[in-house]
Amino acid sequence: MVPGASKGVATMIPAVILAAGNSTRIGQSTVNKVALPFAGKPMIVRAVESVKDIADPILVVVGAYKESVIDCLKDYRVTFIEQQQRLGTGNAVASAMPYLDKYNPDFVLVGYSDHMMLINSDDIKKIIDFHQNNHPIITVVTVELDNPFGLGRVIKNDAGFVTDIIEEKDALPDHKKIKLINTGPYIFNFQYLKNNISQLKIHETSGEYYLTDLVMIAAKQNLPVLDYQLDYKNIGGGVNTLEQLNQLESIASK
């Protein structure tokens, strides 16, 4: 059990929301993609609203077209952290570590702005409860898709523990057959995150540091990583194209 946590009761924890990407694949040249409207609200607003009654502080990592993200959240109590070099999700979370260190929490939630538009606070609470009650070092939120192209595949061992997450660009043919995908958010035990974020290595295929490599690092240390599976309609799988944005909007409207 996480120190200070009560069984079955979600604890107020810090959240890091990633909103710094270049938005190149969605064809935006003036705003960050997470500032685009989704079912009547910008994606970043929906991401923050999903955690605003659960998380304190809320740290929003900005980078490309940061003004568009900051403007969307002018009425919300968040702290903005700029990712000076856009070197991937691992680097983005590393940017937030000095701020998190001031709080020294038991654990921290990390989410992608363009994955969390469909998720609600009740699901976030369930994920936190799951982490508290099962005490893995990392909880990964997953969904199963018939067509998982473009998304990170979740590798599990025979005991049911997650041992790796393989991004599409790094996936071998056998990996691409896997239908269980990583969506974020994640719950990290903070001391593990603090002690291991510097162990991430840059990937030659992308020139980026992947936050998901912390799963592989944990597995090598024989530390437990579990997944909490949601239905696709409750989380989605990220937005890289306008077509994907429209597809998820159609799910949200049902």
Q: What is the mean pLDDT of the chain?
A: 88
Report the alpha-carbon angle 218-221-223, nearest 5.
Answer: 60
Segment 57-67, tens digit of pLDDT: 999 999 999 99
Q: What does the pLDDT read at residue 1?
A: 31
Round to whole Å and give the CA distance between 227 and 33.
27
Q: Which long-range contacts (CB under 8 A, 24 or more apart) does 28-33 make?
A: 28/65, 30/65, 30/68, 31/65, 31/68, 32/62, 32/64, 32/65, 32/66, 32/68, 32/69, 33/114, 33/239
Q: Give the type of residue at 172.
A: L
Round to whole Å and give the CA distance between 51 and 46.
9
What integer is the mean pLDDT of 81-90?
Answer: 93
Q: What does the pLDDT read at residue 243?
A: 74
Residue at token pair 């810090």: 14
The residue that leads in pLDDT, 52 or 253, is: 52
Residue 162 has pLDDT above 60, yes or no: yes
Alpha helix segments (H runs only) across the chain: 43-49, 66-72, 89-103, 121-134, 173-176, 190-196, 213-220, 242-252
Q: What does the pLDDT read at residue 2?
A: 34
Q: At 26, is the secondary structure helix, strand, or coil?
A: coil
Segment 198-224, tens digit of pLDDT: 999 999 888 999 999 999 999 999 999
Fold category of 13-252 in CATH: Spore Coat Polysaccharide Biosynthesis Protein SpsA; Chain A (3.90.550)
pTM (two decimals): 0.89
